[in-house]
Structure 1
Amino acid sequence: MKTAAYLLLFLCSTLVFSQNDKLFEQGNALYNQGKYAEAIEKYTAILDSGNHSEALYFNLANAHYKLNNIAPSIYFYEKALLLAPQDKTIQNNMAFAKNMTIDAIDVVPQTGLSKFIKSFTNIMSFDSWAKTSIVFVLCFVALFLIYYFAYSSFNKRLAFIGSFISLVLVLLSLAFTFHKFNSDKNNRPAIVFAQESEVKNEPNLRSEIAFRLHEGTKVQVLDTLNNWKKIKLADGKTGWIDSADIKLLNDFSY
């Protein structure tokens, strides 16, 4: 029975992948014909099946850009970058899309130690930092055993120095691992989809307007209260926005 169930699951998965490949090719063909709205329908059908990739998000973003859909184009470029952060083509296309936005928000630059820690932490993903920590732990254990069982004083000295360096690297890599974990956990970017949204000082309709945002602007979500989300801009401004006015980038369920 289990074998039959696994076989059925495999066949269904193969059928879904085959269908998605067909939809992707159809979407590309429609895009090349200038039928951008129809191409978006094909790409969206793939997302609805639970499949996503940087290529799919990139093509969706391009199609929306051709239709001057500011928020969706930036949204999907950003999602593509989450999966392929070093892709120059995605970065360049998104820069063109951002030229269509209204809000001009100055970025508060990071300097000194905080900038170095952030840059160094982002060299690798959380999983990569965790694996690196494990490698250094194994090195420390191996060198400590060599030190313990070595007869030569020279070998003992080398093993002791090596184990000490490994221990330091273990501590540093663990620190960067936890820093990356917390950074990823607190990183909740979103894109404004409303053509114009009023950001309030407090999470209620009677509160005074702190500032206004327009479609395509990227924000950081800090907190949620009922139908409101507390956001922060790149220039440090904070306020409360209607949850319906933004879409979180880390939500890959679309």
Structure 2
Amino acid sequence: MFLTRFRVNTARAGARRLLSSPQLLHGAVMASFAEPPPSVPSVAAGPAPRVLWRIDHNSRSEVLLYLVSPQRPDVTHLVEQAGWPTTGGWQTFDYGAFLAGIAAGSTFAFRLTANPVHSIRRNPDEPIKRTAHLTQHHQAAWLLKQQQRSGFTVVEKAPDRRLLPEGDEHELVVHRQQSVSFGKNDRVKAGRHTVTLVTATYDGRLRVTDPDALRRTLTAGLGKAKAYGCGLMTLAPVRG
């Protein structure tokens, strides 16, 4: 597995065009591989590794594309279209050693952009419909429900550090909630339709409970809309 970081030059028209459409950026990401990445079948041990990507808006001038993939990517086309062709490039790291070193009980800072959804029906006669969580409270609750199967628990705050009597028990911040719409070709209906995604970014601290399950989460993604910039969780050492 490989982890790639690419800084986007937001002053370029090509960068702004890509950032405006998860569909276009998905195509640009997949064009980073000479051979089509392997399909993503379900296997007995869980989902197989796949291509995942995420855009981090750290500031107006610092926008980063993170990419996790089974194959080493070549993002020269992104540098030419949305980077600094003569002075900037990208960094690709061997992700395998980091993944192998994940151990139960370890604590990490994490970031995740996800599509927090649930399936509901308003009455028994209606089909089940996938619906996005829209409030910060429900979006946080969605992530907490993923903990056990995903190999981690979000660290709980000490009681004296909680600012609210309810809803502030965890080292977790939900931010950058947004709704994005884009056109997508429909192969079945031979036309285009509009896709709308609600996304949220999560920052926090987690403790590893099941290293194998967490490795699957990091390489196969968490939640829906993985092709469109959702599901990629990254970890960093906890400082202080």
TM-score, reference length from structure 1: 0.18
- Compare the two structures and name the one with the higher strand fraction: 2
- Compare the two structures and name the one with the higher helix fraction: 1
Tell me which structure has the larger Cα radius of gyration.
Answer: 1
TM-score, reference length from structure 2: 0.19
Q: Which has the higher contact order (CA 8 A, sep 6+)?
A: 2
